[in-house]
Structure 1
Amino acid sequence: MYGVEDAATIAAVRAYVKLLRASRAVVARTLPRLAEAGLTHTQLGVLEAVLHLGPLTQRDLTRKLLTSPGNLTDVIDKLARRGLVERVACKEDRRSVRVVLTDSGRAFIEGLFPGHAEDIAAAMAGVTGVELAELDRLLRRLGKGAAGD
């Protein structure tokens, strides 16, 4: 396979390609609802993270969403212009800023997220609950291994 003869490497490449294709297929199923709401996946990620975890620093969001600080700044700027989030100075560390949902941002994401979750569930309906649990376990292990944890 393209000059690679090691069976483990070939298996890893094949699994990687399947992982990317599956990921892209699931993402494609969620795009129409997000486009209708005027959101990118990263913007949704910010809103969802702050909804479920509470106010987060931009640094925490950068790590959680696996995006660059520059991209995240742009994403938050756009959400702030729409009145969905605001930046609030941290009382404990004046150098740090937390991203907080506005009341309209909370109402927006609380209205959008259930349908988004249904889109994900529909995209993943080809696997059983038991298989999803196993997939979750394997992907967590893969992510930790790839990150060197």
Structure 2
Amino acid sequence: MNTESLAFTTPKESLGILLGLVRAEIVRAMEAELAAKHLDLRFTQFLILKRLARLGPMSASELARSVELDGGAMTRQLDQLERKGYLRRRPHEQDRRALRIELTDAGNALWQELTGCNERVLAAAQRSLDEAEQAQLHEYLERVLHALRDKN
């Protein structure tokens, strides 16, 4: 599908379509960055590494919720990342039945390398905006997010 022509089919796209197109382009650009580094990673795996690097160890279900995957899909992603040596499953300190997912040293090193990719993609996404416009966009998107999460 040619998303470029889809983005300009009407004078004003709906917010949902526009946000979806922006997300698709961010995913495409991030996967291009990963491929350029010869890393066998998909965007979802990048998100998993990012969440663990930023938030620390967590359960598989917490991690699945944070990257919007169902349990089966999360298990497959964790298996692949564990085989690559980027994360490990450890017993939970307080609950013997539960496991915590954490980055390995190799996973932490990879995340340090990927941080630059993430920053380049996000900077490219905002390159046509000056600093004030970037701050305004961020504020507007936060307000939209809060409005959608507000149950009242």
Q: What band does the TM-score fall into relative to the shorter chain?
A: 0.7 to 0.9
In structure 2, list runs of 5 or more residues that go unmatched. Answer: 1-11
Describe the superposition over 1:99-126 as per-residue Cα deviations: whole angstroms up to 9, x where unpaired.
1111111111111221222122112212
Per the normalisation by structure 2, the TM-score is 0.80
What SS does the corresponding residue of 2:14 show, helix, strand or coil?
A: helix
**Comparing 68-77 and 136-145, the one that deviates more:** 136-145
AA matched with 1:140? E
In structure 1, list runs of 5 or more residues that go unmatched. Answer: 1-11
What SS does the corresponding residue of 1:116 show, helix, strand or coil?
A: helix
Q: What is the alpha-carbon distance in structure 1 between the residues aligned to residue 111 and residue 98 of structure 2?
A: 24
Structure 1 stretches of 4+ moved >3 Å: 144-149
Q: CA deviation at 1:147?
A: 4.2
One of 40, 43, 46 as aligned partner of 1:41 = 43
**Comparing 100-109 and 27-36, the one that deviates more:** 27-36
- Aligned counterpart, 2:62: 60
What percent of counterpart residues are identical?
A: 28
Kindly indicate whether the alpha-carbon contact (under 8 Å) linking 1:58 and 1:98 is maintained by their aligned counterparts in 2.
yes
Q: What is the alpha-carbon distance in structure 2 between the residues aligned to residue 107 and residue 96 of structure 1?
A: 26
Report the structure, 1 or 2, having the larger helix content.
Answer: 1
Q: CA RMSD in A?
A: 2.0
Question: Could you say which structure has the greater relative contact order, defined with CA pairs below 8 angstroms and 6 or more residues apart?
Answer: 1
Per the normalisation by structure 1, the TM-score is 0.81
Change (3 A) 1:94 1:13: farther
Q: CA deviation at 1:95?
A: 2.4
Q: What is the alpha-carbon distance in structure 1 between the residues aligned to residue 142 and residue 95 of structure 2?
A: 32
Describe the superposition over 1:75-112 as per-residue Cα deviations: whole angstroms up to 9, x where unpaired.
11100000110001101112221111111111111112
- Aligned counterpart, 1:72: 74
Q: What is the alpha-carbon distance in structure 2 between the residues aligned to residue 141 and residue 94 of structure 1?
A: 40
Alignment length, in residue pairs? 138
Q: What is the alpha-carbon distance in structure 2 between the residues aligned to residue 73 and residue 112 of structure 1?
A: 22
2:10 equivalent to 1:26: no
Q: What is the alpha-carbon distance in structure 2 between the residues aligned to residue 54 and residue 129 of structure 1?
A: 31
Kindly indicate whether the alpha-carbon contact (under 8 Å) linking 1:29 and 1:120 is maintained by their aligned counterparts in 2.
no
Q: What is the alpha-carbon distance in structure 2 between the residues aligned to residue 126 and residue 26 of structure 1?
A: 15
- Aligned counterpart, 2:97: 95
